[in-house]
């Protein structure tokens, strides 16, 4: 499929895993696991189009307030995917670097170890990146940056936009060209407030496990129609 132009960076808010599971009389665990499999496919599709910087919101601090059984299931799934053969093949075939973005202190130690190994094993890849936002909150991101930035200014350092950005938890994530959110929700919910400054937004009514390559194509075709003036 031909597109007028493509985004360089895409971010994903993959909503609808729980609703999909209930709709199909399956466990929440199965819904989330299918959601992870779909993201592996999504990554392959994007990189096949030459979109080489992806971000996905896997877990927010607010998500930790859900049923403890569900939270433990998420932790288990993310630990498993860090050593999953399909995930590793996708990452290494595409030579994609994995970055974990978020507050690691709220994650279990075994999950942190598995994610840290995935980061270490891919840190030599330079041209493609997959940013996994686990334990990430937009307000927490800005708050940490503000505290560090204020300390630097008090010490007499020059307070610039670039300096503030360098203090973000998400400082390694570039500005986002396109943000896709699934399941019919039409809000960002605090997702990457710094990087979404001039992002184009695309909302799909599909529940995330039902999202297909055709749905991605619709999002990219819609993005290609946008007139990105950046306020000019």
Check which CATH number belongs to the domain holding 123 and give it. 3.40.1180.10
Per-residue pLDDT for the chain (232 aa), expressed as one digit of tens each? 678 899 999 999 999 999 999 999 999 999 999 999 999 999 999 999 999 999 999 999 999 999 999 999 999 999 999 999 999 999 999 999 999 999 999 999 999 999 999 999 999 999 999 999 999 999 999 999 999 999 887 887 778 999 999 999 999 999 999 999 999 999 999 999 999 999 999 999 999 999 999 999 999 999 999 988 888 7
Residue 61 in any domain: the answer is: yes
The active-site residue, picked from 30, 41, 52, 63, is: 63
Token code pair at residue 116:
């840290």
63 is annotated as an active-site residue: yes
H-type alpha helices, 123-169: 138-154, 161-166
Residue 230 in any domain: the answer is: no
SS3 148: helix
SS3 134: strand
Residue 146 in any domain: the answer is: no
Residue 229 in any domain: the answer is: no
Residue 66 in any domain: the answer is: yes
Residue 57 in any domain: the answer is: yes
pTM of the model: 0.95
Q: Residue 60: CA atoms inside 13 Å, Cβ hemisphere, count? A: 18
Please state, in angstroms and as integers, the Cα–Cα distance from residue 25 to each residue in 28, 33, 71, 128, 177, following that order: 9, 15, 19, 37, 36
Residue 143 in any domain: the answer is: no
User: Domain range holding 28?
Assistant: 9-138+175-224
The domain tally of the chain equals 1
158 is annotated as an active-site residue: no
β-sheet bridge partners, residue 203: 181
Residue 148 in any domain: the answer is: no
């Amino acid at each position: 499929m031909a597109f007028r132009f493509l985004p360089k960076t895409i971010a994903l808010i993959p909503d609808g895993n729980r609703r999909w599971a209930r709709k199909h009389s399956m466990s929440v665990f199965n819904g989330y696991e299918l959601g992870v499999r779909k993201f592996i496919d999504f990554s392959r599709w994007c990189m096949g189009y030459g979109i080489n910087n992806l971000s996905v919101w896997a877990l927010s601090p607010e998500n930790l307030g859900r049923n403890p059984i569900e939270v433990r299931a998420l932790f288990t799934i993310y630990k498993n995917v860090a050593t999953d053969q399909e995930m590793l093949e996708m990452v290494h075939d595409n030579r994609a670097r994995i970055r974990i973005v978020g507050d690691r202190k709220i994650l279990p130690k075994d999950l942190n170890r598995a994610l840290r190994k995935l980061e270490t094993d891919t840190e030599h890849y330079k041209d493609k990146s997959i940013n996994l936002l686990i334990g990430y909150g937009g307000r927490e991101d800005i708050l940490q940056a503000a505290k560090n930035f204020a300390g630097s200014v008090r010490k007499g350092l020059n307070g610039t936009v670039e300096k503030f950005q360098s203090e973000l938890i998400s400082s390694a994530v570039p500005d986002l060209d396109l943000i896709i959110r699934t399941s019919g929700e039409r809000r960002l919910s605090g997702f990457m407030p710094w990087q979404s400054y001039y992002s184009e937004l695309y909302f799909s009514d599909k529940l995330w496990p039902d999202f297909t390559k055709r749905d991605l194509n619709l999002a990219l075709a819609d993005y290609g129609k946008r007139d990105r003036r950046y306020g000019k």
